Each structure stands twice: as C-alpha cells, then as structure tokens.
Structure 1
C-alpha cells in the first residue's frame, strides 16, 4: 500500500488515474462519503501492485463493548487475532458482574472468523466505575481471589472464551506486589485449561513514575506473571486535558523502550487508539471537555468546514482547526500516517503486535494497512 497526501485542486478521479487504481477501490478503502470531497492534507491509503515489503507475524487484538454494531464487528474481525470483550467486573463480596448486554453473539462471531474471544476482567464495580477500593479488598483476601477465579473459569468455559485479560486501573501503590501475585495466581489456575492470561498496563516510562495510574503497576513482575501484556499507550490527549495528540509517537516510543528493559519483547503488545478528540477553544483546565470522535468522522468534519489537515512530525499525528458558531476548535485524531509510524515502531522493536482501544468505530484503511504490514496470527 502507498499513502498519498491530498494537495490543492486534487480530486478522487485524478488520484485514481495517477495510481492506475479503480475509483471505487479508493472510495471503499478510505470510507469516503458522496460526493467524495477531499480535505487538504488528508491522507489516503492507495493499493499498489509494486510493493515488495515483507510482512512479519504479529498478534492483533481489539477491545469492544457488546453494543458494537454487528456490521462494524464483522468488518473488523478478519484483521484481529483476538477480540477482547469489555468487560466483567466484580463486587466486594466476590460476585462477578457481567456486561449488561448479552455478549454471546460477539463470541460466536469471533470464532466464526478464527478470532480468539477473550474475557476482559476489570476493577469496575456494579456502578460502572473503576475502584481502587475494590482492588485493595480483592488483593487482601485469598479466599475472595479464589472465589472470583473460580467464577471466571466457569464463565469462560460456559460462554466459550479462550483467554482472559486483566485490566485493573488505579491500583493502590501498596498493592503493587499483591496485584502481580494475583495475575500469577490466575495464570497458574487457568493455564492448565488452555487459557492464556494477559494484563493491560498503564503507560510508564520509568520504574519510579509517580501517580495513581502508575505506582501500583510493576512492569517486571507483571511481565513475569502474565503470558503477554498490552501497553495502554494512548490518552496523552484526553477528554479533560489540553489539546494534543492522543498517542504521540515520541511518548509511545519512550514507554515501549522502557517496557523492553523489564519485559521480553515477545510478550509486548503496543496499544493503539482508534479515535480522536475535538476540543473547543480556548482550553480552560477543569472546565473544557473534549468530544470523542472517530477517525473517519474527523476527516468528514475537516471537509465540511473547509479545514486543512496538518501533520505533527514529532507526534506523528494529524490535527486541524475549525470554527463553528463562533467557537474555534482543535481536533487530533489518527490516520494511516500515524498508524504506519506505530506499525514501524512495532517492527523496529520486535514487539509481539498491536492492540486497539477500541473497535467501536470502523477505520478500514488502518486495518488494511495493518494487514499489509503484518501477517496476522489467526487461530488454526
């Protein structure tokens, strides 16, 4: 595949003629909307027949809620090794809290595409929020842990899950070692039944990094405890933060390079955001709230407002500004250029693969580019 950046006076017919590819192919791959207008600076993925680049094997996973569109899921599954169903929580009494909506259809759809369905186990309580107190209660009671693990194993067997991902956030600093021991216990109990255990890790750049997200996460211990880890390398730009790239490559690299000092590279999945944010300006800390936006939606927003898309070379991320109802906005999102940079980092560092948060909106060009870069590890 090649990437073309739209220039002044370009149109889709001219680009298709230049590259000798059908217009319909460009429209389909890039999810263009009639009348197929283009934004200045927009990145288009173009299929070519002269690529000699070798693909490398990779694990590819994506998180999804049970309310995902069946069409979006069916379009995404061919590109995924594993589907992480989000999510299963628990109560202080040790009762498993299942998703409100039925997830059986997702599990069956995944199996139909030789994609491994994985149960995502979180520290989310009945109120739908992450809780440090729940984590502390669980990690301080071995009987509670055994009760939870037994329920997880039974649920996985009954529903047909083929693995488990542990995604605990805001782990108390004093529970750093007990959390790793819990992950190891889950693996010890479930591995004999063929279940692979993964763990999602907050994006640390050093062992002594301060903050509620980081102090309870020990990369070395968790790398030893789990079969694989997923680095949550996104959310530098976030809902309540100042406008910036969601996953700036310079910061993603720092996290990945630190992880390699603590965890074998064959266990590391690099997290990739499948979304962006739209901030109203000026940004006021504690007041401004960004709107989550899909990658395809972002391009259409730029087109509708006549905005030129720019590309930050350090962050390797696209962004643009527009005005609406007298308010100026700043948008950062992902495109095939930012994905190509992240895929190149995975190849450069020899990591195991890529993990998407989350698959709720389809970004077809990104998935096709991934398949052009990696040989996706599907179940036999």
Structure 2
C-alpha cells in the first residue's frame, strides 16, 4: 500500500500508471465518488500489485485465492477474516505470498533482503531444504512480511442496524468494540442500551465487546453524578452486581469506564472504586479499562484532568485509553484535532507512569470546519474525511499539510463570501500516528468514533499492524 499526495497535473489514470496499479481498485479502495476529480494535496492509498488486492463486485474469497495461487484459509488468516463467505467490495486483502521468479545472480539471502523477510521463512514456504540450491527460472512463493501485533478498540454510538453493518464491514480491524454508552445511576443501576445488533455483528467478526460506563447525561458529563457515585460505597456495590449481570447476559468481555469532569477531591475515591471493581470482575474473567484525559504532567490543572490519576490507573486496570484528540475542539479556534506534537507530549508523560503495554493511543476518525475569522462563542461543524475532500473539490482549493501537526487542512470561501477553515485526518496523518504508536511501543490504538467514513484509514492500519483477536 502506497500513500500518494496528488500533485498538480495528476489524474487518476496517471497515478495508476505511475504505480502499475489497477485504476478500479484505487477507486474502490478510496471510495471515490467522482474519479474524474482529484484535489491537489489529496492523499490516496494505492494498492501494490501482487501484494494487495481490492475486492471487486462479484468476487469471493475462493476465486481470489485461486487467482493468486494461495489457500483460502491462508488468505482469511492473513486478513483476520472470521467468515470466509463474508467479504466486501472495496475491502483490501493482503496476499499471504508474492510469486517471484529467480533471476541470474540471485541467492536466497538476496531475495529475502529484497522482500524484507528471512531466508528461513522463504525456505519453509517453498519446502527448500538447502537454501544454497535454487536455480534460475524457479518460481518462489515469498511470504509477506510479518507485522507487529496490536490491539485496536473502536467506540461506536450507532448501535442500530446501520451500526451493525459498519461493524460487519470493518470488523477484521478491531480487537474490541465499545458501544457508547451506559450511564451510572444514583441507585446503583445503569441505563440500558439497545446494543443487540452491534453485539451480534461483533460476535460474527470475533470482536471482544466492552461495556462502556460513563457519567454522561443529557449530552454532557455530570460532575455531581460522578461525585454521588464515587462517594457512596453502597451504591458502588449494588452497581457492580448489576454490571456483572448485564455483562454476563449480553456477552461482554470487559468494561470501560469513561468518567469525565470528576471533581479533584474524588480522585482517590475513583482509584478506590477501580480497585474494588477490578477485584470483583477480574476473577470472573472480565477486563477493566478506563479512558483518560490527555495529561502532560501529574499536577495538570483543570476539571477534566485532576481526578485522572495516570499512575494509579496504570497500576490498577488492565489497560487505558488515552483520549489524545480534541485539541481542535468544536468551541475553540481552528486547529488539528490530534496534532502529533501534542499527542507525543501526552505520551512522553504517560509512559513514565503507565506501562507501555497498557496504553491504547486515542485516534480521531473525524475533522472540523470553522468559520473564520474565528469568533469566541461560535462552534465548528464536525465533518468526516470524505466530506472534507468533497468540500475542497467543490470550491476548487488545494489541500495543504501541516508538517508540525502532521495534519491536512484547507481554507475556502463559500457562495456568501464567508471564509472557512477545515482540519481533518488523511492517510498521511494516520500513518504518522501509527509510526508514533510503534515508536513508543504501545499496546495499540482506540478510535473515536465509528460512523465517520474514512476509507483510507483501514488499509493504512492493515499494512502497519496485525490486529489481535482474542
């Protein structure tokens, strides 16, 4: 998979010719509504011939495997496909092997070095007992390089049939699915969520569902509700039993606590509650995780941060989700949603107090559009990456890329003369985040939130990591 930023004079046909790629596969992989229009600065993902294949209408896994001379089960395993009968148009498949014809002067060591695999891997794949005995004209099956294994979580707010379709389509990319949300109540109960459709889809895709519990009421996080809950051990005991009942009944594998805007004086109460709930759930085989605000130091001021004790959570729970996004928030100035320099500042602190193998780095799947000049009290509109590109195409403006933030953006003027500024994510920006995740040696990543079309993200994820399935 290659990331190509459209240049002046590019057409889709020229781009396909440059990389020897199939133009129809590029169109499907990027979900291009109008292939005749590409925007200068737009990032496209290009499937590499004989290494990747994009599912076309009428395909099934058997005919794809037969075309490339590989076994269906190898193709399914390589791509985390739980049901070989279920593949989707536009889905990129990594081929488990590439065929190579031995040339004069070749050695197995030279070929292995060329493809980034080991001599023993090639020898094993081809039944070669003596690696020095290969001959010109011999066809070798070169196994695709191994990828680091990471865990991927995805929050989802649409739990209806539409959400289930998205989970089925993208499910090979997720370790966990976190339907948002159930809310704590002052009597120890928790609100219900009609999650049957997405849980069924998660099960079909071998995804471990996490039950999300928050203090989210009426569109915002309620500090007083969190205080009432965290200051009353009796309410907590009742809640834990109700939680266990819900998790067992619905087949959840773990719980994710996302308590936000907790009063600073409840920091230790929150820690104590987590110790209690872990002590009750872990022996039952359930995981416990938390979502944490993006702090850069322990004593960071502000209601969002002060009660989130990084070191304590890192010690108590199984893993944490760092919410490394929302710098460019809807009520603030135009800015990248997750500027990589700010993400790295959070990670620089986090890894000093939380084990790296307990950290999922938050990643946004959305962007925002502001009216400029920005006025205090105005709010940005949330846009998805596909919508952002369509806006740039509509108004004929190039997409720029901020190297410091590793994020694309553009400005345009609408029909009324109003200026706008748009920041969003593209293949380059998520590649920068995956590079960061690997550099810091983290457990994996967590997306906020499904329901925002971003087709370029999935092949980029796929080329970087093998997603762990439980």
TM class by shorter chain equals: over 0.9
Match of residue 323 from structure 1: 413
Structure 2 segments unaligned to the other structure (5+ residues): 52-113, 117-144
Alignment of structure 1 residues 262-277 onto 2, 5 Å = 262-277=353-368
1:293-344 deviation per Cα after TM superposition (whole angstroms, max 9, x unaligned) = 0011111111111110000000000000011121000000000100000000
**Higher normalized contact order (CA 8 Å, seq sep 6+, divided by chain length):** 1
Corresponding residue number in structure 2 for 1:74: 168
Quote the Cα distance in structure 1 between the aligned partners of 2:174 and 2:166. Answer: 13
Tell me the distance in 1 between the aligned counterparts of 2:374 and 2:292. 29
**For residue 43 of structure 1, what is the aligned residue in structure 2?**
43
Match of 1:290 in 2: 380
Q: CA deviation at 1:35?
A: 4.1
CA contact (8 A) 1:27 1:36 kept: no
Does the 8 Å contact 1:136/1:172 carry over to 2? Answer: yes
Structure 1: tracts of 5 or more residues without a match: none
**CA shift for structure 1 position 244:** 0.4
Return the match for 2:298 from 186, 207, 222: 207
The answer to whether structure 1 residue 300 and structure 2 residue 390 are counterparts is: yes
Other structure's SS at 1:39 match: coil
User: TM (normalized to structure 1)?
Assistant: 0.96
Q: By how many angstroms is 1:194 displaced?
A: 1.1
**Mapped pair 1:6 → 2:6:** yes
C-alpha deviations, 1:151-196, integer Å up to 9, x for none?
1110111111111100010011001111112112111111111111
The equivalent residue for 2:197 is 105
2:436 equivalent in structure 1:
345
- Superposed, which structure 2 residues align to 1:150-229 within 5 Å? 150-229=241-320
Q: What stretches of structure 1 move > 6 A for 4+ residues in a row?
A: none
Q: Which has the larger radius of gyration?
A: 2
Cα distance in 2 between the residues matched to 1:260 and 1:249:
16
Alpha-carbon contact 2:156-2:163 (below 8 Å) kept: no
Q: 1:73 to 1:51 in 2, by over 3 A?
A: farther
Task: Name the CA distance, whole Å, in 1 between partners of 2:367 and 2:166.
Answer: 18
Write the distance in 2 (CA, Å) between the matches of 1:147 and 1:277. Answer: 41
**1:246 equivalenced with 2:337 (yes/no):** yes
Which residue of structure 2 aligns with residue 359 of structure 1? 450
Q: Give the CA deviation at 1:71.
A: 3.0
- Is structure 2 residue 182 aligned with structure 1 residue 92? no
> What is the rounded CA distance, in whole Å, between the counterparts of 1:168 and 1:347 in structure 2?
28
**Range with bigger deviation, 116-125 or 250-259:** 116-125
Q: In 1, Cα distance between the equivalents of 2:355 and 2:21? A: 42
The RMSD of aligned alpha carbons is: 1.3
Deviations 1:38-86 (A, max 9, x none): 1110011112248746510100010001145433222221111110110
Q: Does 1:28 align with 2:55?
A: no
Please give the secondary structure, in 2, of the residue aligned with 1:97. coil
CA distance in 1, matches of 2:394, 2:234: 58
**Number of corresponding residues:** 375
In the alignment, the residues of structure 1 paired with residue 383 and residue 422 of structure 2 have an alpha-carbon distance, to the nearest angstrom, of 9
Q: What is the TM-score with the length of structure 2 in the denominator?
A: 0.78
Hey, what's the Cα distance between the residues in 2 that align with 1:27 and 1:304? 19
Residue 134 of structure 1: aligned partner: 225
Secondary structure class of the residue paired with 1:261:
helix
Do the aligned residues in 2 keep the contact of 1:275 with 1:333 (CA within 8 Å)?
yes
Report the CA distance shift for 1:338/1:95 in structure 2 as closer, same or farther (over 3 A). Answer: same
Instruction: Give the whole-Å Cα distance in 1 for the aligned partners of 2:43 and 2:115.
Output: 18
Q: Look up the SS of the partner of 1:215 in the other structure.
A: coil
Aligned partners of 2:153 and 2:174 also within 8 Å: yes
- Which digits, 9 at most, give the CA deviation of each residue in 1:255-292, with x for residues without a partner? 01100011000000000000000001110112x21000
Task: For 2:165 and 2:17, locate their aligned partners in 1 and report how far apart those are by CA, in whole Å.
Answer: 31
Deviation at 1:145, TM superposition (A): 0.4
Question: More deviation in 111-120 or 29-38?
Answer: 29-38
